[in-house]
Each structure stands twice: as C-alpha cells, then as structure tokens.
C-alpha cells in the first residue's frame, strides 16, 4: 500500500524560516533509512502559502483565484512523503522514528490505487 505522510505548516515554515543544519542532518539520515528499506517513494517540502494560489470552482464554469498567503497555517501542508509500506501500522512505526520535536503532528493517509476504482469504472458500484 502507498501512504502520504503529511507535514503541516507552522508559523516558522509559513514565514519562510528553514530548520537548522542539525535538523536537516537528522532528516537526511531518516530519509536515507527510509530509502534503504524501500519505503521512500518521494519526499518534498513546499514553499510558504505566500507563494501559492487557490482556485475555487463554482457553478457555470466560474472560477475564482485567491493569491496566498492563507490565514490558517495549521491547516496548510508544508511538505510530504510518499511511502510504500505493508500496512498503516508499518507507516506509523516508521513515522515514530522521525526527528520531529514537541508540538509537531503528522498525518498519514492511504493513497487510492487504480484498482480501487475498478468497480466504479465498470459500473458495478
């Protein structure tokens, strides 16, 4: 199964402040361990929302575009990993080893696979 591990934005990252070298070194080691174990498919950090946009979709094809920054930083994604794991428990065990400090909360979400949509496409669901 694949999972997306979602790192939420915080005030520092939303302000464009990068972590220190010690954190980067610990994260590099952690990512190397994930890669060596065949778990890591992708790992990406995102720029602050001030460099982003939101596109809203409404009736009759109307679109609205809102430039960042966005107000609720705790609801924004600051980065993510894409992992291939055996189970949600396996992903949880890996995440518990991540070098984050107090107050950080990371979300794990299973990714749909193409075969998960087969019944819908076949009209049997």
* Structure confidence at residue 123 as a pLDDT band (50, 70, 90): confident
* Structure confidence at residue 73 as a pLDDT band (50, 70, 90): low
What the chain holds in terms of domains, given with CATH numbers, is 2-122 (3.30.70.1060)
pLDDT in tens, 22-71: 999 999 999 999 999 999 999 999 999 999 999 999 998 999 999 999 88
**What DSSP string describes 78-119?**
EEEEEEE-S-HHHHHHHHHTS---TT--EEEEEPP-GGGGHH
Q: How far apart are CA 8 and CA 107, in angstroms?
A: 8
* Structure confidence at residue 75 as a pLDDT band (50, 70, 90): confident
Residue pair 70/49 in contact by the 8 Å Cβ criterion: yes
Q: How many CB atoms lie within 10 A of CB 13?
A: 21
* Structure confidence at residue 72 as a pLDDT band (50, 70, 90): confident
Residue in the block written with tokens 């070098």: 99
**Does position 89 have pLDDT exceeding 80, yes or no?**
yes
* Structure confidence at residue 110 as a pLDDT band (50, 70, 90): very high
């Amino acid at each position: 199964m694949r999972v997306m591990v979602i790192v939420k934005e915080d005030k520092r990252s939303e302000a464009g402040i990068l972590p220190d070298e010690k954190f980067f070194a610990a994260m590099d080691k952690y990512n190397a361990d994930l890669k060596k174990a065949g778990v890591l498919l992708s790992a990406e950090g995102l720029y602050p929302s001030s460099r982003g946009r939101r596109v809203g979709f409404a009736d009759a094809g109307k679109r609205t575009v809102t430039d960042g920054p966005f107000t609720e930083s705790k609801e924004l994604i600051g980065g993510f990993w894409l992992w291939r794991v055996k189970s949600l428990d396996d992903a949880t065990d890996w995440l518990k080893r991540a070098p984050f400090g107090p107050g950080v909360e990371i979300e794990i979400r299973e990714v749909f696979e193409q075969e998960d949509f087969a019944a819908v496409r076949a009209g049997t669901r």
